[in-house]
Amino acid sequence: MSGLSGDGLAPIRHVTSRRIVAVRGASLEVRDDRVVGEAPLEIRAAGPHQDPVAVAVTMRTPGNEAELAVGFLTTEGLLEDQEVLGTAGGDPGALSQPDDTIVVRLSRPFDDSKVAERHFVATASCGICGKASIDEVALRVKPLPSGPVVARSVVLALPDLLRAAQRAFDETGGLHAAGLFSPGGELIAIREDVGRHNALDKLVGSQVLAGTMPLHERTLVVSGRVSFEIIQKAAVAGIPIVCAVSAPSDLAIETAERLGVTLVGFLRGDGFNVYANDARIDLRDLSGLG
């Protein structure tokens, strides 16, 4: 069993090389190209003296498997107050890719009836389907605090700070990122994955394993659009501000309003839209406000 620090080694399958035919105008070149990895991960959970319970299979970018599994169980409300004791990969003697299976060891038995009730099906593009309503999510999300308040200048700087930290994206151009920032714009942690929700689960899992939950003083920045799931997972983790470079869905906005999450979208250049709970964004420097 591994410890609680997540994956100590750099992922070895998050980026691979493929031979391609590159066409640029009237020129043609056959060369190797770096592409993002994608593979299934089976997430299991087990308490003391309990056989592992299969919870979900998600398509993800290899790497940070412990963080992804712990983050998934956390943001989907499956851990409650259980303590994570450690994680373990699959059996190398039985599996060709043992890191495609992860078992989260818990302090108390895992209730497998929750899995049957939720009917988990996961993919990198859409996340968990067949999810319960916003009402069900609201029941397991603790109220978010009123703060922090983030300056407009900090909000505007976040996309460039996130992009500068995307090492795997620089190699492939094919990964989503989720970054956690302080109210002053300091990068706390960043995780990348082929799926938006996986990147966020990895990020949350890293903070669970670091013992920094809940994330009441943090701002989340995601590289793509904002769906219902992104808001739900952020709220469960206690994140009060979610910023995105692209658009939110109408259900994401409704969920943010209901759960008290500040939602910023179309964060590009010198502008952004605040779709819900704007009090956490300091706009007093703008003309006519204050």
Active site residues: 126
Give CA–CA dist 238/89, Å, rounded.
Answer: 28
Cis amide linkage into residue 148, ω under 30° from 0: yes
Question: Among residues 83, 41, 85, 92, which one has the least CA distance to residue 64?
Answer: 41
Is-contact 209 202, C-beta < 8 A? no
Kindly give the residue spans of alpha helices, DSSP state H, lying in the chain. 65-75, 113-118, 134-139, 152-164, 167-172, 196-210, 228-236, 250-259
CA torsion through residues 236, 213, 70, 188, sign: positive
